[in-house]
Amino acid sequence: MWNQIKALLTNRKFYYTLVGLGVLVGVVLMLLDFVVMPAYTNYDEGVTVPDISQVSLEEAQQRLTTYGLRYKVAERRSNSAYPADYVIDQTPAPAEIVKPNRKVYLTVNTVSNPTVKVPKVIDLSKRNAQIQLQNYGLHVGTVSFVSARFKSRVLRQSIPPGKEVPKGTAVDLAVSDGLGEKMVDIPNIKGLRLAEAQQKLQKAGLRIGGFRYEPSKDVPPNVILNYEPDKDQVVEGTTLKLIISERFEVKEEVESGAIIDTANVASPDTTNN
């Protein structure tokens, strides 16, 4: 066995065969790298995407076919600035270089905006309501917060469920803020400056709904004189109206003429003596 291996290693033909196989493998790899793969992937070929926006769908199809490209209508959207069946957007964008036979996705104008039925999102969380509306092609508009239990639950929606509206319509929501489930004490804010009173009310879970200013001679400006409703306890989340002091200014009366005191002046005697 060892003699056979020794004879093989000392045979020149064996080394010639190994060199030949190495050269053959190298040639095959070079052919794959520089010939086969480029031909398969169209390495040295590219197509410049034409601008097909603001043309009819039929004309866009003809242009893309001429350039060796395909197309697909990805979305239909209403835009009053264009006629029906006109291309208003495209992907890839114009002037991009792509492979031959690449598919171009088109957004095409429709005669009227599609309509959808508004889903019921009352009693859903704010997040789930947003997802539900998006699934129907709608979106959340203005969100207002209302004092109620169960934070972030939708209490009201501006468009009733089941109503048919154009796709893309905004639906306003009234959402609970988690307050209003217990009674709280109104902190003593009388005599405090406005900034300090605001902090105390916020910490107690109360809101400020407005201000009323009253002039005061004895109290510096921006000090809380009172609040409405003037109670000791209210429901959490209640809105208070603050009565705030302002500078007292004395207004002088302007005299339009001389004032004559006739109280002690006797009336002329008109009786004939």
Cα 216 off chain centre by: 46
Residues 214 and 243: beta-carbon distance below 8 Å: yes
145 occurs within a structural domain: yes
263 occurs within a structural domain: no
Residue holding tokens 């796709």?
167
* Last residue of one domain, picked from the residues 79, 110, 141: 110
Number of compact structural domains in the chain = 4
Q: Between these two residues, 74 and 30, which has the higher pLDDT value?
A: 74
Q: How confident is the model at residue 73 (pLDDT cuts 50, 70, 90)?
A: very high
Indicate if 51 and 100 belong to the same structural domain: yes
Indicate if 144 and 197 belong to the same structural domain: no
Indicate if 228 and 189 belong to the same structural domain: yes
What is the share, in percent, of the chain residues with pLDDT greater than 90? 43
The CATH number given to whatever domain includes residue 203 is: 3.30.10.20
The neighbouring-strand residues paired with 117 are 164
Q: What is the mean pLDDT of residues 69-97?
A: 88
Indicate if 170 and 208 belong to the same structural domain: no
CA atoms within 13 A on the CB side of 187: 16
Indicate if 137 and 161 belong to the same structural domain: yes
252 occurs within a structural domain: no
6-20, 21-35, 69-83: least confidently modelled range: 6-20
Indicate if 156 and 120 belong to the same structural domain: yes
Distance CA 17, CA 8 (A): 12
Tell whether omega for the bond before 94 is within 30 degrees of 0, i.e. cis.
no
Indicate if 13 and 63 belong to the same structural domain: no
Residues 156 and 144: beta-carbon distance below 8 Å: no
Distance CA 244, CA 19 (A): 100
155-159, 201-205, 222-226: least confidently modelled range: 201-205
Q: Could you report the per-residue pLDDT of 96-130, keeping only the tens digit for each?
A: 999 899 999 999 988 766 789 999 999 999 999 99
Residue holding tokens 């409703």?
229
Indicate if 189 and 233 belong to the same structural domain: yes
Distance CA 174, CA 93 (A): 41
65 occurs within a structural domain: yes
104 occurs within a structural domain: yes
Indicate if 145 and 97 belong to the same structural domain: no
Q: Is the pLDDT of residue 247 over 60?
A: yes
The closest of 132, 137, 106, 107 to 119, measured between CA atoms, is: 132
C-alpha distances (whole Å) from 71 to each of 60, 76, 77, 106, 226 are: 9, 14, 17, 7, 71
Q: What is the mean pLDDT of residues 209-233?
A: 90
137 occurs within a structural domain: yes
Indicate if 192 and 167 belong to the same structural domain: no
Instruction: Supply the pLDDT for residue 70.
Output: 93
Maximum CA extent, the chain: 181
Q: Are strands 70-78 and 103-110 parallel, antiparallel or unpaired?
A: parallel
Distance CA 166, CA 138 (A): 9
Residues 58 and 83: beta-carbon distance below 8 Å: no
Residues 118 and 159: beta-carbon distance below 8 Å: yes
Containing domain of residue 126, as a range? 115-176
53 occurs within a structural domain: yes
* Last residue of one domain, picked from the residues 130, 147, 176: 176
6 occurs within a structural domain: yes
Residue holding tokens 């917060």?
145
The closest of 112, 118, 116 to 77, measured between CA atoms, is: 112
